Chains A and B, each alone.
Chain A
Amino acid sequence: MGKRVGLEVTVAVAEAVALCRIDMAGVYPITPQSHIAEHLSNLVADGKLDAEFVTVESEHSAMSAVIGAAAAGARVYTATSSQGLMLMHELLPIASAMRLPITMAIANRAVSGPLNILNDHSDIMPQRDAGWIAVFAENGQEAVDLSIAAFKIAEHKDVMLPVSVNIDGFQLTHMVEPVILPSQEEVDAFLPPFVPHATLHPSNPVTMGAFSMSDYFTEIMKAKDEAIKNSRKVILEVWDEWGRQFGRSYKPVETYRAEDADILMLTMGSMGETAKIAIDELRGKGVRAGLVKLRLWRPFPFAELKAAVKNAQKLIVTDRAVSFGGPGGPVFSEIKSALFAQARRPSIYNYIIGLGGRDMAVSDFVGMFDQVLADRAQAKADTYEFWGVRE
């Protein structure tokens, strides 16, 4: 049976990864991910985890090392954040093109400059098109559950793709909170051993990551796009299976008091919980408000999103990153294009919130609702603004 304990979320994630019996970890520490690296390395040093912990000299090397180890048939793990993820960037599409199941935690943190270290989503958003499955955790329990499930999704024979588990820096990573850690037996029953689609081995040589010219490049990109789209089915299956075994099930899009809501707010990551309190407060005042939480970022859950917002008049999309000179926050532009062809769709508002660790209290969420509710002429629909910016 699992054990309910109070743990810092990074430590809980490292424990969960150890329960997945990884063969190899290549991790370079970076705030606010460092405690994942430290705790995993402790587990290996203490003999509690039989894995190679490769002390790489950079995140570029970390990603290179896990790509190599995964190609050799190992179950691998890495974790990073912000600048570290930026340094990995050029390798991310290679990992997905080689169809290597790598699980990576991203302790989401603002990208420099200026140097900041605190939480937002400006690190993951530029990696959108790397061909990685991307999921977002809302609390410590989800960070644990989604990390374990990530290995199963990544390694499924119909998927074979890398997965990033996004865990808000500090707000989640540095929080001591209750977490149910599954037992080794439970994880063993859930997660079968990794069976690679091909391995590098001297006695059975193969070529991976070969050169391709224009005669094949288009076909290879098409195959990769289909692969990540097809992963959707497996993601749903694996999360359902998790729910059956552990009693906590996950969906690509989850809602809270949304069924009869006139006005919805969409969040990703840890702010969903604080927003929930705002919803309750608004409901108490007679406002039919609801929440939509986007857990799966890639592959994008079009059908689920459309279903979740179909009855609302207004939809507030919150973004934790900026697309400078673009059409609004990256999530906003995604949602807009997902709903573009709908005959009936809500007016969509966009607030860029919580940049570089700017705290968002319940009153901030209520404030965004108030502002959008007051916009009767819909003058601000389809535009974006920076919430709380000093003018």
Chain B
Amino acid sequence: MIEVRWHGRGGQGAVTSVELLAVSAIAAGKFAQGFPSFGPERRGAPVAAFTRIDDKKIDVRSGIYEPDVVLVLDSSLIGLVNVLDGLKPGGKVIVNTAKTPEEIRKDLNFNGTVATVDGTGIARKEMGVPIANTTMIGALLKATGIMELDAMKDSIEHRFGRIAQKNLNAMKRAYDEIKISK
């Protein structure tokens, strides 16, 4: 089982991303959970969202305290929130930022795998909006190998209709452009 914790701000689409990821994983025959940090929703406030994916039925229903992967949708949260909290030894951090993995490694004072991609820049170019939630799914899939990129196609099309292709393009670019440093 892989457990992912997403850090974002209310309104940046972390919950949409965990939903799309879970729906796609389930459609691909896997078992998955996608859920928000429970509680009131407040735009701009730091929020977390969670994904569990496994090849067998998932029984655990508690929160995720020791994620395998942490994905930071908004790099301004670094320093504000302890994004490394509970990260498993050997765990990965993926950050939406124009910085290099080495710079983020220094910011976080972290020795494990760090991956970065300018998701917001890509989203702005591909979709004309600075919302990188779907874009960063591409980064997550590349950094973890949970699923093929193609597995996202149906759920993205179902969710976004005529703007689906732009989302898919942005996701593909993040998949291709992510820089991973071990």
When the two chains form their complex, are residues A274 and B35 in contact, meaning their CB atoms are under 8 A apart? no
Q: For the complex, is A385 an interface residue (Cβ under 8 Å from B)?
A: no
Residues A118 and B61 in contact in the complex (CB < 8 Å), given A175-B33, A176-B23: no
**Segment 172-196 of A: residues with Cβ below 8 Å from B:** 174-178
* Chain A residue nearest to B155 in the complex (CB): A6
> Pick the contact of A360 from B23, B59, B62 — CB < 8 Å?
B62
When the two chains form their complex, are residues A170 and B38 in contact, meaning their CB atoms are under 8 A apart? yes
Residue numbers in B under 8 Å from A8 (CB-CB): 19
Q: For the complex, is A117 an interface residue (Cβ under 8 Å from B)?
A: yes
**Chain A interface residues (CB < 8 Å from chain B):** 4-8, 117-119, 170-171, 174-178, 270-271, 273-274, 276-277, 357, 359-362
Q: How far is the CB of A143 from chain B (nearest CB, A)?
A: 13
Residue numbers in B under 8 Å from A176 (CB-CB): 18-19, 22-23, 32-35
The answer for the CA separation of A276 and B58 in the assembled complex, in Å, is 11
Contacts between the two chains (Cβ within 8 Å), count: 71
The answer for the CA separation of A171 and B61 in the assembled complex, in Å, is 7
Interface string of B17-47 (1 = CB under 8 A from A): 0110011111100011111101110000000
When the two chains form their complex, are residues B36 and A174 in contact, meaning their CB atoms are under 8 A apart? yes
**Chain B interface residues (CB < 8 Å from chain A):** 18-19, 22-27, 31-36, 38-40, 58-63, 65, 155
When the two chains form their complex, are residues B59 and A273 in contact, meaning their CB atoms are under 8 A apart? yes
When the two chains form their complex, are residues A118 and B39 in contact, meaning their CB atoms are under 8 A apart? yes
Residue numbers in A under 8 Å from B35 (CB-CB): 170, 174-176
The answer for the CA separation of A359 and B62 in the assembled complex, in Å, is 6
The answer for the CA separation of A175 and B35 in the assembled complex, in Å, is 5
The answer for the CA separation of A275 and B74 in the assembled complex, in Å, is 35
Residues A117 and B40 in contact in the complex (CB < 8 Å), given A176-B19, A176-B32: yes
Q: How far is the CB of B32 from chain A (nearest CB, A)?
A: 6
* Chain A residue nearest to B50 in the complex (CB): A175
Given A4-B26, A177-B58, 5 further pairs, Cβ under 8 A: A117-B39, A119-B38, A176-B18, A177-B34, A357-B38
Residue numbers in B under 8 Å from A178 (CB-CB): 26, 31-32
Q: List 6 A-B contacts (CB under 8 A).
A: A6-B27, A117-B39, A171-B61, A177-B22, A177-B26, A271-B61
When the two chains form their complex, are residues B36 and A6 in contact, meaning their CB atoms are under 8 A apart? no
The answer for the CA separation of A362 and B61 in the assembled complex, in Å, is 9
Residues A6 and B62 in contact in the complex (CB < 8 Å), given A174-B38, A176-B33, A178-B31: no
Residue numbers in A under 8 Å from B25 (CB-CB): 6
When the two chains form their complex, are residues B26 and A118 in contact, meaning their CB atoms are under 8 A apart? no
Residue numbers in B under 8 Å from A277 (CB-CB): 59-60
The answer for the CA separation of A111 and B155 in the assembled complex, in Å, is 36
* Chain A residue nearest to B25 in the complex (CB): A6
Residue numbers in A under 8 Å from B34 (CB-CB): 6, 175-177
When the two chains form their complex, are residues A274 and B32 in contact, meaning their CB atoms are under 8 A apart? no
Q: How far is the CB of A158 from chain B (nearest CB, A)?
A: 35
Q: How far is the CB of A35 from chain B (nearest CB, A)?
A: 12
When the two chains form their complex, are residues A362 and B40 in contact, meaning their CB atoms are under 8 A apart? no
> Pick the contact of A273 from B18, B22, B38, B61 — CB < 8 Å?
B61
When the two chains form their complex, are residues A274 and B63 in contact, meaning their CB atoms are under 8 A apart? no
The answer for the CA separation of A210 and B25 in the assembled complex, in Å, is 55
Q: How far is the CB of A322 from chain B (nearest CB, A)?
A: 21
When the two chains form their complex, are residues B38 and A274 in contact, meaning their CB atoms are under 8 A apart? no
Q: How far is the CB of A170 from chain B (nearest CB, A)?
A: 4
A-B residue pairs, 6 tightest by C-beta: A6-B26, A6-B23, A176-B34, A170-B38, A176-B22, A273-B59
> Pick the contact of B63 from A6, A270, A271, A359 — CB < 8 Å?
A359
The answer for the CA separation of A118 and B38 in the assembled complex, in Å, is 7
The answer for the CA separation of A119 and B62 in the assembled complex, in Å, is 12
The answer for the CA separation of A4 and B57 in the assembled complex, in Å, is 13
When the two chains form their complex, are residues A6 and B24 in contact, meaning their CB atoms are under 8 A apart? yes
When the two chains form their complex, are residues B39 and A177 in contact, meaning their CB atoms are under 8 A apart? no
When the two chains form their complex, are residues B62 and A274 in contact, meaning their CB atoms are under 8 A apart? yes
The answer for the CA separation of A176 and B34 in the assembled complex, in Å, is 5
Q: How far is the CB of A39 from chain B (nearest CB, A)?
A: 14
The answer for the CA separation of A239 and B68 in the assembled complex, in Å, is 39
The answer for the CA separation of A174 and B15 in the assembled complex, in Å, is 10
Residues A5 and B26 in contact in the complex (CB < 8 Å), given A117-B40, A176-B34: yes
